[in-house]
Amino acid sequence: MRRGWKIFWIVCASIAGIGLVLCVTGAGMGATLSGIGEVYASDRWFYWDDWQRWNGYDDNDLEDLDDLETAGEHYTQGSEEYVSNFKEIQSIDIEVTYVEIDIRRYSGDTITVDTSQLNSKLRNNLIMGTEDHELFIETKNHSIWKQIGRHNSGAVVIQIPEDSGLTEASFDIGAGLLKIESIESGELDINVGAGQAVIKSFEAGELDVECGAGQTTLKGKVNQSADIHCGVGELKMTLYGNQDDYDYDLKCGIGELTVGDYSYAGLGSERKLDNGTGRPMKIDCGIGRVEVKFNEDF
C-alpha cells in the first residue's frame, strides 16, 4: 500500500513539473493569456450577450468609451411606485450580483433609485436604505438572483445630481454589470468578480479597483493614490496626465502588465519607480491582463 501511494505522489509531482515546464516554454515562445483569450473569445463572453445594451463599444479600445450612450438618452424614469428618492447622501455602498447597475447624472437635487426596469420577481429581494448619510443597496437570496439573472434580471438605474460629489463610493458587483456615466468621490472602490464594469468618467482622491475573473474598463482622474488588483480578468484604464505623474509599485505574475511605456509579461516581474510625485500607484497583475494609458486631452 505504501509503495502504491509513493508511486501516486511521484506521478503527481511529475505531471506538475511537466506543466510548469510547458508554461515556461510557452511564455518564452511569446504565448500570452490575452492571445489565448482571443482564440476562445466566443466561449468566454457568451454569458453577456443579452446584457450589452450599447453600440459601438470595442473591448480592445479604451477610446471607444466616448462612443457609449450618454446618460440622458434612451432612458425614461419609471412610475413613482418604483422610484425612491434620497436626500443628503454623502456616500454610496452597493453590493449586488447578477444584475445591471446603471449610474447616471441628472439635473435634480436628490439621488434617485429606479427599479422599474428590474425583473418583477426580484424587486422584493433587493434591499436599499440609508444609514449615517450613506445609501446602501444589496441583493439577498443569491440563489434567486443567480437563477433569474443568468437570463434577464433587468437593471437598477441610479441618478446622481450632476453638481454633487461623494466622500466615498463602493461598488461590488460580483457577476453583474456596472455602467457609470460619471462619478466624483473622495474614495472610489470598484470590485468586479466575474462580471463587467464600464466607467466612462471618474474623478477620485483614492482609487481602489479589484478585478477577479471579469472585465473592467475605466477612464478618469486620480488625485492621490491608486491600488489596482487583477486576478485572471482584464482591466483597462485611461488616466488624465502622463505616466510620470505617479510613483509605481508594479507586480506581474504570468499575466501581462502595461503602464504607459512600461510593459511586463512573464513569471514574477516586479518593479518600483519613484518619480518623487507623492502619488503612489500600486498594480498587482496575477495571470490576467492590465493596461494603463495616459492622456492629457480629456
Euclidean distance between CA atoms 65 and 163, whole angstroms: 22
Domain residue extents for the chain: 1-31, 46-295
Query: Band of the pLDDT at 30, cuts 50, 70, 90?
Result: very low
Q: Flag whether pLDDT at 206 surpasses 50.
A: yes
Euclidean distance between CA atoms 37 and 113, whole angstroms: 36
Beta bridge pairs of residue 261? none
Least confident residue range of 85-94, 101-110, 239-248, 261-270: 261-270
CATH class of 46-295: mainly beta
Q: Flag whether pLDDT at 45 surpasses 50.
A: no
Strands 289-295 and 234-240, bridge-based pairing: parallel
CB of 132 closer than 8 Å to CB of 167: no
Average pLDDT over residues 239-265: 93
Q: Per-residue pLDDT tens for 110-135?
A: 999 999 999 999 999 999 999 999 99
The pTM of this model reads 0.79
CB of 156 closer than 8 Å to CB of 80: no
Which helix (DSSP H) or strand (DSSP E) does residue 293 occupy?
Answer: strand 289-295
- State residue 150's pLDDT score: 76
